[in-house]
Amino acid sequence: MSAFENLMAFQHETEALAQVAGRLGWDQETMMPRGAAAQRAEEMGALENVLHTRRTDPRIGEWLAAIDDTALDAVGAAKMRHIRRSYARATKLPDTLAAEIARVTSRAQGIWAEARAADDVAHFLPTLAEVVRLKREEAAALADGGDLYDALLDDYEPGATAAEIGAMFDRMRTRLVMLREKIMASGRNPAGITGRFDEEGQLKLAQEVASHFGYNFKHGRIDKAVHPFSSGSGTDVRITTRVDEGDPFNCLYSTIHEVGHGCYEQNIAPEFGLTPLGAGVSMGVHESQSRIYENQLGRSRAFTGWLHGRMTTIFGDAGAADADAFYAAVNRVHSGYIRTEADEVHYNLHIMMRFDLERKLMDGSLEVDDLEAAWNTRFEHDFGVAVDKPSNGVLQDVHWSVGLFGYFPTYTLGNVYAGCLNLAMRSAVPGLDDDLARGHTEAATGWLQEHVQRHGGLYEPKEVIERACGFEPNEGPLLDYLDAKFGALYGV
Amino acid sequence: MSAFENLMAFQHETEALAQVAGRLGWDQETMMPRGAAAQRAEEMGALENVLHTRRTDPRIGEWLAAIDDTALDAVGAAKMRHIRRSYARATKLPDTLAAEIARVTSRAQGIWAEARAADDVAHFLPTLAEVVRLKREEAAALADGGDLYDALLDDYEPGATAAEIGAMFDRMRTRLVMLREKIMASGRNPAGITGRFDEEGQLKLAQEVASHFGYNFKHGRIDKAVHPFSSGSGTDVRITTRVDEGDPFNCLYSTIHEVGHGCYEQNIAPEFGLTPLGAGVSMGVHESQSRIYENQLGRSRAFTGWLHGRMTTIFGDAGAADADAFYAAVNRVHSGYIRTEADEVHYNLHIMMRFDLERKLMDGSLEVDDLEAAWNTRFEHDFGVAVDKPSNGVLQDVHWSVGLFGYFPTYTLGNVYAGCLNLAMRSAVPGLDDDLARGHTEAATGWLQEHVQRHGGLYEPKEVIERACGFEPNEGPLLDYLDAKFGALYGV
């Protein structure tokens, strides 16, 4: 066998084992008996050790040295791009540091949860300082003298830079704050929906909606979990949802969101399965799929019209006066502290704030002791309200406790990509709203499958969006879409 | 670290990974999307490769050579006994042969299923001949010049020999055939229960019964699957059941059976977790626990009285005239072709037949071409009826297709051990029937936990039974129990 064939065979087993780890993670959140956590940590640790050993196996280095990428076809070259990047990252990071990060973040997550429950920032800060120190050390090991934040960001969004994202976010922020203020000043305050919506009906409708968005139950399943997520690639892509009987949008829109993630994984070309191309190419592109399913399609006037009808049939009453009131309720803009509950207008403001703060934590211009004050000042400026307590402020997200620095901006990047894709898709798919009004998304999701999803890891993140859209991705289409949609809804 | 410590740390990870493989197997039978089978085979294959590589790792040989077992305490010595045995087995078997067996048996299982569905023995025989040839080759590699069948049996029941088991089975067979004939000649033919028992009620009652038998839901769960099984060790031990709305005993007694297996695993001393002592010590001892829960406890007059009351409450009608008729229905002796549907009197006759036939296949005194005729002749002699079709005869069990030679006798060994344990337990636990009549099994299962289950792999199989009972295990107590129970039921 050639070095390339040996490497691909080795990689195939590694990818298969990574899928096993994913399945174990799914099980932990859905099926695992509650007393099995300690043993599961041992099981997961053993599997992670196997994966780490494989990812840093010196034979990979030998194979990489022996392979001439320029002699390969586009698919082979793309596989090499992924393997070279991940091998370089894996071997740059000292084993002792990786182990210390794993140990500290595992403990930090528990301390963060305690601090959030007690609204006690001081309880979390020493641990956060340790996490920040270790992540800076990790970034330094990875950065080769370059920007520390970029070195972390690269793990989630290969090729992206903080400078480029930061410049774009600054342009967006001005327009978003302006839109937010106009909406708040409009005097319009549409009602949310009212009523109780039984769990069984919500889960049945969630399954139906998932099918309507093209989720393939032959290669997936939906279960309840505390947090909605999507897990797995190829022919085994599972999603979770949750139910609040007073708020059916929680279940329905988190389902549509995860269906977007899940369809991306399910629709990657089967020949990429268990290769480095067999998963979504970046967090940003992943989020573009979940967001366009959830927002540009799922929260459109046309689709909510269909949903209003289905909810009326299933629950007797959809909790709104008519389809227009239902649409206004789905898209209600409201001040709120919590990122995960934010509407389309506020959401990106949450992200930009976190991005700016975590960049400063990484470049050392902000100390963790000053983080809460910086958070609260920025929040009041951008959101027009003061943070009332840490659990509604700096303690709300798990990310920093588990060391996810560089992850937050991919959420807004996903929204930006979704805005671009929506523009291109709407011009490529005529009569889309007529379809959506009948609950049909095939034309839209088919376009996304063809132009984005099936490529998996074949192209670089930005490249796949640019190829799909025919223009370089930028924030304009998203902001135009938000201005138009919410301008109409709020008469501003 | 000493060689012993290194070996134990290595073994700990191997045990954790083996648990992961078990969890994956559970998922495959309960949760996996139906289109994920091919990908799952890749995932499982990758994990099995990891396990195989670890089990034959040359470092184990070095550590084993450096460790003086006589310097260890009893627990350390027991761990070494398991590791030495499994390393010797793993390294004696050539990789190419192991791979060929895996390949052939995987294909053979499909061909067997086709043959059974079509009642076409000839379709299966060439493949079975190949499996037999490979298993003889495997046995020769393992046997070091000893008995081929013993070498295979040793994998399921360490220390047992076919000669000893064969002699015991011959003694049992005479008495069992006689008991069977007396029952059949008794003229009594108690009715089964009648009615429909809805799935929800059955599953609810199965959960309740599992709790009554001490199954710990904090460390386990019950799901539906095509075949009932138990899976996992320590704090994550899951069982499955199935539901036939016309036959609630199917669900209830397979649940109690699997609860016996599950409790054995759940109750092993926690300090043995993820060590070679952290699982049931042999198939025979495992089966002793499932059988004593299912039969000596679950099918006792006292416990069925309680069950009759619960079923009457849950379903309105338990399908029998009174508690005595219910007890007779639970323990109805009936001629039948199928091992898995057999009553306590017939069951061991099924096993003995398979044991004698597979021993002959292994020693070469029976050719696969003559297997069906040998099966049918023996069946008619022992069961008094002629086999009507291969799917009710030689094709009924999956075992031989997947290479499980030497496994069958452990079922009856389990029954023999259960008979011994029942005798000892009844003398150690006064008032047991009064407890059972109120649905309480704690005194009985507590005795089993203390005397059998908590020891895990600490003692050799026969030793753990002998220590619990105070006498050398033998077939007498089981046969006495069957004579007494069925003699009373059938007036013989």
Hey, is the C-beta of B273 within 8 angstroms of any chain A C-beta? yes
Residues B448 and B395 in one domain: yes
Q: Which of A98-112, A164-178, B14-28 has the lowest mean pLDDT?
A: A98-112
The predicted pLDDT at position B419 comes to 98
For A54, name the nearest residue in chain B, comparing CA atoms only.
Answer: B50
Residues B161 and B103 in one domain: no
Give the gap in angstroms from C-alpha B220 to the nearest C-alpha of chain A: 5
Of A16, A39, A43, the CB nearest to B43: A16
pLDDT averaged over chain A?
97
User: Residue B306 CA to chain centroid, in angstroms?
Assistant: 26
Contact residues, chain A, for B218 at CB < 8 Å: 33-35
Contact residues, chain B, for A51 at CB < 8 Å: none
User: What's the rounded Cα separation, in Å, for the pair A178 and B238?
Assistant: 56
Contacts of A251 (CB under 8 A, 6+ apart): A202, A203, A206, A241, A242, A243, A244
Which of B146, B180, B214 is the C-terminal boundary of a domain? B146
Which of A39, A74, A92 is the C-terminal boundary of a domain? A92
Q: How many CB atoms lie within 10 A of CB B299?
A: 20
Task: List, for residues A23-65, the tens digit of each pLDDT value.
Answer: 999 999 999 999 999 999 999 999 999 999 999 999 999 999 9
The predicted pLDDT at position B111 comes to 96
For A10, name the nearest residue in chain B, comparing CA atoms only.
Answer: B46
- Cite the annotated binding site of B by residue number: 257, 261, 287
Give the gap in angstroms from C-alpha B16 to the nearest C-alpha of chain A: 5
Please indicate, yes or no, if residue A98 is contained in any of the structural domains. no
Residue type at position B149: Y
The total number of structural domains in chain A stands at 2
Hey, is the C-beta of A13 within 8 angstroms of any chain B C-beta? yes
Residues A67 and A139 in one domain: no
Residues B417 and B279 in one domain: yes
The predicted pLDDT at position B263 comes to 98
Q: CATH no. for residue A360?
A: 1.10.1370.30
For A51, name the nearest residue in chain B, comparing CA atoms only.
Answer: B50
Interface test with B, best of A236, A240, A266 (most B CBs within 10 A): A236
Hey, is the C-beta of A211 within 8 angstroms of any chain B C-beta? no
Residues A459 and A355 in one domain: yes
| Rounded average pLDDT over A145-157 | 97
Task: List, for residues B37-95, the tens digit of each pLDDT value.
Answer: 999 999 999 999 999 999 999 999 999 999 999 999 999 999 999 999 999 999 999 99
Residues B189 and B121 in one domain: no
Residues B160 and B104 in one domain: no
How are strands ordered across the β-sheet holding B222-224?
A: B222-224, B238-241, B230-231
Annotated active-site residue A258? The verdict is yes
Percent of chain A with pLDDT strictly greater than 70: 100
User: What's the rounded Cα separation, in Å, for the pair A347 and A344?
Assistant: 5
Which residues of chain B fall below pLDDT 70?
A: none
Helix axes A409-428, A476-490, angle to 10 degrees: 80
Instruction: Name the pLDDT band for A1 (thresholds 50, 70, 90).
Output: confident
Question: Which residue has tokens 């429950």?
Answer: A117
Rg of chain B over Cα atoms, rounded to whole angstroms, equals 23
| Rounded average pLDDT over A288-300 | 98
Please indicate, yes or no, if residue A48 is contained in any of the structural domains. yes
User: Domain residues for A40?
Assistant: 3-92
Please indicate, yes or no, if residue A97 is contained in any of the structural domains. no
Hey, is the C-beta of B20 within 8 angstroms of any chain A C-beta? yes
Q: Do B20 and A27 touch (CB under 8 A)?
A: no
Please indicate, yes or no, if residue A336 is contained in any of the structural domains. yes
Residues A190 and A303 in one domain: yes
Please indicate, yes or no, if residue A412 is contained in any of the structural domains. yes
Phi/psi for B222 (5° steps) reads -120, 130
User: What's the rounded Cα separation, in Å, for the pair A398 and A226?
Assistant: 14
The sign one gets for the Cα dihedral A305, A310, A313, A316 is negative
Give the gap in angstroms from C-alpha B215 to the nearest C-alpha of chain A: 12
User: What's the rounded Cα separation, in Å, for the pair B248 and B201?
Assistant: 10
Q: Write down the catalytic residue from A15, A258, A372, A475.
A: A258
Q: Do B36 and A236 touch (CB under 8 A)?
A: yes
Residues B38 and B129 in one domain: yes
Residues B378 and B390 in one domain: yes
Interface test with A, best of B15, B19, B28 (most A CBs within 10 A): B19
Contact residues, chain B, for A33 at CB < 8 Å: 217-221, 235-236, 238
User: What's the rounded Cα separation, in Å, for the pair A430 and A436?
Assistant: 12
Contact residues, chain A, for B46 at CB < 8 Å: 12-14, 16-17, 20
Q: Do A39 and B12 touch (CB under 8 A)?
A: no
The predicted pLDDT at position A114 comes to 96
User: What's the rounded Cα separation, in Å, for the pair A263 and A449?
Assistant: 8
Q: Write down the catalytic residue from B15, B258, B294, B460.
A: B258
Q: Do B135 and B152 meet the contact criterion of CB atoms below 8 Å apart?
A: yes
Please indicate, yes or no, if residue A105 is contained in any of the structural domains. no
The predicted pLDDT at position B300 comes to 98
Contacts of A444 (CB under 8 A, 6+ apart): A297, A425, A429, A432, A435, A436
Contact residues, chain A, for B238 at CB < 8 Å: 33
Nearest to A481 by CA among A407, A423, A430: A423
Interface test with B, best of A12, A15, A19, A20 (most B CBs within 10 A): A20
Question: CA-CA distances (angstroms) from residue A59 to A56, A317, B13?
Answer: 9, 63, 23
Contact residues, chain B, for A34 at CB < 8 Å: 218
Of B14, B24, B238, the CB nearest to A20: B24
The predicted pLDDT at position B1 comes to 85
Residue type at position B418: A
Q: Do A20 and B16 touch (CB under 8 A)?
A: no
The A residues from 29 to 58 touching B (CB cutoff 8 Å) are 31-36, 38-40, 42-43, 45-47, 49-50
Which of B95, B121, B146 is the C-terminal boundary of a domain? B146
The predicted pLDDT at position A491 comes to 96
- Cite the annotated binding site of B for Zn(2+) by residue number: 257, 261, 287
Q: Do A221 and B33 touch (CB under 8 A)?
A: yes
Give the gap in angstroms from C-alpha B234 to the nearest C-alpha of chain A: 8
The predicted pLDDT at position A272 comes to 98
Task: List, for residues A313-348, the tens digit of each pLDDT value.
Answer: 999 999 999 999 999 999 999 989 999 999 999 999
Q: Do B46 and A220 touch (CB under 8 A)?
A: no
Please indicate, yes or no, if residue A142 is contained in any of the structural domains. yes
Residues B383 and B271 in one domain: yes
Contact residues, chain B, for A274 at CB < 8 Å: 39, 42
Total CB pairs under 8 A between chain A and B: 104
User: What's the rounded Cα separation, in Å, for the pair A367 and A131?
Assistant: 12
Of A19, A35, A235, the CB nearest to B218: A35
Task: List, for residues A237-265, the tens digit of each pLDDT value.
Answer: 999 999 999 999 999 999 999 999 999 99
Residues B197 and B217 in one domain: yes
A271 marked ligand binding residue: no
Contact residues, chain B, for A230 at CB < 8 Å: none
Please indicate, yes or no, if residue A276 is contained in any of the structural domains. yes
User: What's the rounded Cα separation, in Å, for the pair A121 and A38?
Assistant: 27
| Rounded average pLDDT over A382-401 | 96
Hey, is the C-beta of B12 within 8 angstroms of any chain A C-beta? yes
Q: Do A20 and B31 touch (CB under 8 A)?
A: no
